[in-house]
Amino acid sequence: MKNVFIISGPSGAGEDSIIEGLRERFPIERIITTTTREMRSGESQGNPYYFISKEEFERKIQEKGFVEYALQYNGNLYGVTKEEIERVGKSGKIGAWKIEYKGVMTAKQLFPEIIAIFITVPSLDILENRIKRRDGVSDAYIQERMEYTKEWLKHEDIYDYKVINHEGKLPDAIEEVAQIIKKHTDA
C-alpha cells in the first residue's frame, strides 16, 4: 500500500480538485468507491463510482468483499472492494483514495502504513459558501452537510497530515500534497 494515499475532507474542501491537480505531477489512479446511490446526470459506471443495487452491496458485505464500507448521511451505502484496492496497488501509479473519516478509521486499522491526508479550509463559512455555489443544492442539504462536517472535524487526529486549501490558492494545496507524496514514495 506504499503507493496509495488517502485524500479526505468534508464537502467543499477541494479533495477532487487536488486529486485532479496531482495528475499533472504523477500518474494517478483513483480508488473507485462502490455505492448504492442513484447515478446522476453526467456520471457513468466507474465515474465517479461503481453503482450497484443495495441487494448486491449487502451480498458483497456477507461475502466479505469490502475493505471498508459505511452507511452515509444520505442513506446510501459506500465502500471499497478488495478487488479495487488490489487493482490500484498493482497499477504502478500513485493511488488516490478519497474516503470520509469513518472510512479512514477502518483503512488505518487494516493498513496502518497508509498515509492519510486531511484536506480542509480555514473556516466553516468558506465550506458553506463552496457548497452553496454547487448547482441545485437545497438549504436542507447544506444544513445536513454542515452538521456532518462539524462531526468530521472532531476526528482530525486520525490523519497523518493536514493541508489547508485556502480560497483562491488551490495550486498551493496541490503542491503541499505533492510534497507529502514525494516524501513517502520514489515519485
Residues 149-160 have pLDDT tens digits of: 888 889 999 999
Residue listed under C-alpha cell 464500507: 69
Fold of 4-184: Rossmann fold (3.40.50)
The reported pTM is 0.85
Nearest residue to 162 via CA among 112, 104, 107, 85: 104
> d(Cα 184, Cα 142) in Å, to the nearest integer?
36
Amino acid type, 110: L
Amino acid type, 73: Y
Q: What is the pLDDT of residues 106-145, one digit of tens each?
A: 889 989 999 999 999 888 887 777 777 766 778 887 787 7
Please state whether beta strands 49-51 and 66-71 pair in parallel, antiparallel, or not at all (unpaired).
Answer: unpaired
> d(Cα 50, Cα 37) in Å, to the nearest integer?
10
